[in-house]
Amino acid sequence: MADCFAVSTQANDFPVIDLSGSIAAVVAEIADACEKWGAFQVVNHGMPLELHAKFELAMKKFFAQPTDEKRKLRKDIGGVKPYDYGYEEFAKNVNDWKEVFDFPLEKQTATSMSYDLEDTTARELIHSWPEYPSDFRYLSSILIHLSIFFLTILRMEACVQYGQEMEKLSFKLMELISLSLGLPRQRLNGFFKDHTSMGRLIHCPPCPTPQLVLGTHEHTDVGALTILSQDSAGGLEAKRTFDGKWIPVKFVPDAYVINMGDMLEVWSNKKYVSLVHRAKVNSERERFSIPFFFNPAYYVVMEPIEELTNEQNPAKYRAFNWGKYYGSRKYGNFKNPEIDVLRLKHFKV
């Protein structure tokens, strides 16, 4: 907890990368940012800004409802309904000053939910959508496609459509990261065939004692990479690898913060290290944040990419299964404090 009071340095060189630049320049900037920070912000990323704005509005309407309404969608951590509305986070024995709504991607149906390494079964996960606001599920913008012979009206689910765009951006980033590691562009794509990604909506109400709590406690993200949108209230902080100082990640309009998760640390054999980060709250205004976690398929065996290891640089992690790693997070929680949540340190060579 003492860390909550650490004063962040004002010097701020957290990288902002313009994805519309030449591939060679972007790849070089990503390599530099990943090695120094394990993170960067992106602008001109191709995500439709109008869709993002509508999605944000639907999120705000959802959180503005009375708590009793939101509680109807209560998640069941450690059960088969791990998504939806809640306060607590997986695998953290501390409370954050926030409420969240988690949603999977539409096509995701099953994942390995057990922390038991012997149990190889996958489970079907249950998830519910709120009835209000109606455009939370269905975007109010109706795309009308008119051809000579027919008229098609498409109503896309807001979270689903947002998820689809996030998926596209995730693959684009994963390819750039692959190139930045000196690998073929699509070298990492196969790990995401049936990916277990999810989106999270975060609301931190104004806090009377912001010096005593955090919106999100210090952690690294478990998956491959995270695409996060924070609002102008800011609050996100990154721990700079080389000196351990907390640096505020400045709000940049229309930008996303990209950070490496534990799985990229493994694949890159620690050339890139997953970003330690946290988020502060403030007494005057509420803050919103939307992370999207791009995760491998539950059956993926995680280990350093062969081409990135050699005699001088042997594998720093031994092989483990992503589904189990992820499952242990979902089960190791307030309800099951005795469960030893799997962490990267358990697989260090």
Ligand X SMILES: O=C(O)CCC(=O)C(=O)O
Q: How many CB atoms lie within 10 A of CB 115?
A: 21
Give whichever of 52 and 155 is closer to ligand X, judged by the CB atom. Answer: 52
Smallest distance from ligand X to CB 281, Å: 9
User: Which does residue 327 bind out of ligand X, Fe ion, none, counting CB within 5 to 8 angstroms by kind?
Assistant: none
Are residues 272 and 260 in contact, defined by beta-carbon separation less than 8 angstroms? yes
Which ranges constitute the DSSP H helices of 206-321?
A: 262-267
Which ranges constitute the DSSP H helices of the chain?
A: 23-36, 49-63, 67-71, 134-137, 158-180, 262-267, 322-331
User: Which does residue 111 bind out of Fe ion, ligand X, none, counting CB within 5 to 8 angstroms by kind?
Assistant: none
Give whichever of 269 and 295 is closer to ligand X, judged by the CB atom. Answer: 295
Give whichever of 27 and 233 is closer to ligand X, judged by the CB atom. Answer: 233
Beta-sheet pairing, 39-43 with 16-18: parallel
Burial class of residue 243, CB neighbours in 10 A (0-12, 13-18, 19+): exposed
Smallest distance from Fe ion to CB 144, Å: 38
- Candidate list 102, 221, 237, 265; residue touching Fe ion; CB under 5 A: 221
Stretch that binds Fe ion, among 19-27, 145-153, 205-213, 221-229 (CB under 5 A): 221-229
Smallest distance from ligand X to CB 279, Å: 3
AA identity, residue 75? K
How far, rounded to the nearest angstrom, does the alpha carbon of residue 289 sit from its chain's CA centroid?
A: 11
Give whichever of 291 and 296 is closer to ligand X, judged by the CB atom. Answer: 291
Pattern of binders to ligand X over 265-294, x per CB under 6 A?
Answer: ------------x-x---------x-x---
AA identity, residue 81? K
Question: Which of 168, 218, 227 lies closest to 192, judged by CA?
Answer: 168
Residue bearing tokens 């947002």 = 162
Burial class of residue 348, CB neighbours in 10 A (0-12, 13-18, 19+): exposed
* All residues at 6 or more sequence positions from 241 whose CB lies less than 8 Å from its CB, including other chains: 36, 37, 38, 273
Smallest distance from Fe ion to CB 118, Å: 30
Smallest distance from Fe ion to CB 237, Å: 11
Smallest distance from ligand X to CB 118, Å: 29
Report if residue 92 touches ligand X, rule: CB under 6 A: no
Are residues 305 and 268 in contact, defined by beta-carbon separation less than 8 angstroms? yes
Give whichever of 82 and 291 is closer to ligand X, judged by the CB atom. Answer: 291
Strand runs (DSSP E) across the chain, as ranges? 16-18, 39-43, 84-86, 99-104, 110-111, 123-124, 143-146, 151-154, 198-204, 216-219, 225-230, 236-239, 246-248, 256-260, 277-279, 287-294, 301-302, 320-321
Size of the site for ligand X (CB under 6 A): 11
Question: Residues 213 to 232: which contact ligand X by CB under 6 A?
Answer: 215-216, 221, 230
Q: Reduced to 3 states, what is the DSSP secondary structure of residue 136?
A: helix
Size of the site for Fe ion (CB under 5 A): 1
Smallest distance from ligand X to CB 204, Å: 7
Give whichever of 196 and 269 is closer to ligand X, judged by the CB atom. Answer: 196
Smallest distance from ligand X to CB 227, Å: 11
Question: Residues 167 to 196: which contact ligand X by CB under 6 A?
Answer: none
Smallest distance from ligand X to CB 214, Å: 9
Give whichever of 138 and 294 is closer to ligand X, judged by the CB atom. Answer: 294
Give whichever of 102 and 221 is closer to Fe ion, judged by the CB atom. Answer: 221
Q: Reduced to 3 states, what is the DSSP secondary structure of residue 268?
A: coil
User: Which does residue 332 bind out of ligand X, Fe ion, none, counting CB within 5 to 8 angstroms by kind?
Assistant: none
Query: How far is the CA of 95 from the CAs of 73, 91, 218, 243, 258, in angstroms?
Result: 20, 11, 12, 27, 24
Which residues lie near ligand X (CB under 6 A)? 200, 202, 215-216, 221, 230, 236, 277, 279, 289, 291
Which residues lie near Fe ion (CB under 5 A)? 221
